[in-house]
Amino acid sequence: MTLFVCWYMITVCGMYAGTVFFLMIRRPPRSTQSRSSAASDVYKRQRQDPSIRLIKNEHRGKAYAVRTGMLAAEGRYVLFTDADGATPITELDQLLALLEAGADVAIASREGAGARRIGEPWHRHVMGRVFNLIVRIVALPGIHDTQCGFKCFRREAARDLFSRMRLYGDQAGTVRGALLTGFDVEVLFLARKWGYRIAEAPVAWYYGSESKVNPLKDSWRNLRDVLLVRWNDLRGRYPQK
């Protein structure tokens, strides 16, 4: 299977069915020429190879984009990865091994023995660890890294989990600019609640200097999402299957 990644895309692909998905988020008007060129390249590949699909969304944020691709993907396993390649695609072998060994959800972790963070500023690392501590206390004890954008699912698990998201589902509105959220926490919370087996694999992760994370705005939004997940659960909005 070949995986092509364009810089502005969230990439979702189906494994073992020969299908590669490109999920394009429409961004604000800047760099229109570059986006048009990249999209044109993928369209050309799509015409040459029917197993490639390019899905266009209105810009509703990363969570909605990933959800769209995960629900459309085909194959035994389904992966989503950040388009900047922060986690090298070579790390996929580790996730597939965990799925083959019986996990339903395999996630990359930037923490723990064997994990490496390359080029990350110290303040970003501290922010991440504080957030993860809150996540472990409020929602997901025992999971060391919920936010690494490199996760692989059994297809049946992916469709069940992403179709039942409450925070960024069909009701998500259009947005301007980058919208980074805590949707990963909701997906993993549902996976654990509903009995899916989650496994973590330590990976090498490279910090991107073009990261769109806003330390204040995105930290608050992610914290709000974590609290909303717990609040939704308390109100019975995540019923057992």
> Which CATH number is 9-234 given?
3.90.550
Alpha-carbon dihedral angle through residues 37, 42, 43, 47, given to the nearest 10 degrees: 140
Confidence at residue 30, expressed as pLDDT on a 0 to 100 scale: 46
Over pLDDT 90: what percentage of the chain? 46
- The pLDDT tens digits for 90-120 are 999 999 999 999 999 999 999 988 999 999 9
Residue 27 DSSP one-character state: P
Token pair 């800047």 is found at: 30
Domain residue spans in the chain? 9-234
pLDDT digits (tens, 9 = 90+) for 24-53: 444 434 444 455 566 677 777 778 877 677
List pLDDT tens digits, range 117-145.
999 998 888 988 999 999 999 999 999 99
